[in-house]
Amino acid sequence: MKRIYLSLICLTASVFAFAQPAGKINLANGQKIVVESTTDIQASLTMGMELTSTSTSVNALEVKNSAPTNYTISNTLTKLKMNTNMMGQANNYDSDNKSGNNEEMSKVFDDKLNKPVDITIDNTTGLAVTQKKKQSQADVDETNATADIMKIFSDNASDDAIVSGAFEMVPKGKAVGDSWADTAKSKDMKTIRTYTLKSISGNEAVIQANVVTNAVNKLNFQEMEFEVKSETKTNGEIITDLSNGLVKKRTSVADITGSIQMMGQDMPISAKATSTNIYK
């Protein structure tokens, strides 16, 4: 009898040490998620130029439609406060107090505020399904150098990234301590993501994420175009619900190194970006 009890205890422990079957993300039409984000960037650019930026934002997600293989989710930026300083020049934006906003920053963000954008995600991975998007006038007019640089150093504010970031699945059969990886490639970017399952408590899983991204970007500054090459190494932690794939919290620290090509020469750049995303 004692051996039977011990066997049952061991079996129970092994069940809780393994992630339950990943299955699919479980959402209901009309379900709402609020994303609260903070990002801090400290960057050293070429010729002694420095960039600092702090931002807080709130996004409202809503499940608009479900299909056998995907969900359509709207993302609405409802609040944004950003303080940046580049070469001693302050560029600030506050969606709650637009009268004091920097004109160039207003051109970038006013058209994006309270404008829902529908994103389709795969219901097994949470990743955005690639679709050809209509370019908005704000995207055409967006020539603010500070905003362009911030995109290079922190690319987690796009509609795709915000919606996809709300979900994280643990592959079926993964035990605490196990790792898995995936790779994403585009014309100008390659990303390798490695995940490790750190712990499981009930339906809550903690995942360690290590991401390496190599990219080439174009930067417009004072009517000149520069090529920016960068390598970003990000270490982070994800807390997710195993029962439905919904993330509760993401934290990350990214170290960026690279170069800006100017007048035929590569000038070194470096930056650190720290971010926290909370999902409610």
Residue closest to 108 by CA, chosen among 60, 59, 149: 149
What's the pTM value of the predicted model, to 2 decimals? Answer: 0.81
Q: How does DSSP classify residue 15? A: H
Q: Report the alpha-carbon distance of residue 57 to residue 94 in Å, rounded.
A: 10
**The one-letter amino acid at 36:** E
Contact assessment for residue 242 and residue 258, using Cβ atoms and an 8 Å cutoff: no
A 10 A CB-CB count for 75 gives 22
Q: Report the alpha-carbon distance of residue 260 to residue 226 in Å, rounded.
A: 7
> Which residues are registered as beta bridge partners of 35?
59, 279
Distance between terminal CA atoms of the chain?
46
Q: Report the alpha-carbon distance of residue 239 to residue 5 in Å, rounded.
A: 32
Domains and CATH numbers, the chain: 16-279 (2.30.230)
CA dihedral 140, 141, 145, 148 (to 10 degrees): -30
Per-residue pLDDT 10s for the chain (280 aa) are 333 333 323 333 333 344 444 578 999 999 999 999 999 999 887 667 788 889 999 999 999 999 999 999 999 999 999 998 877 788 888 999 888 787 778 888 888 899 999 999 999 988 888 654 544 444 444 445 555 555 555 566 689 999 999 999 999 899 999 999 999 888 888 999 999 999 999 999 999 999 999 988 877 666 677 788 889 999 999 999 999 999 999 999 999 998 888 777 788 889 999 999 999 9
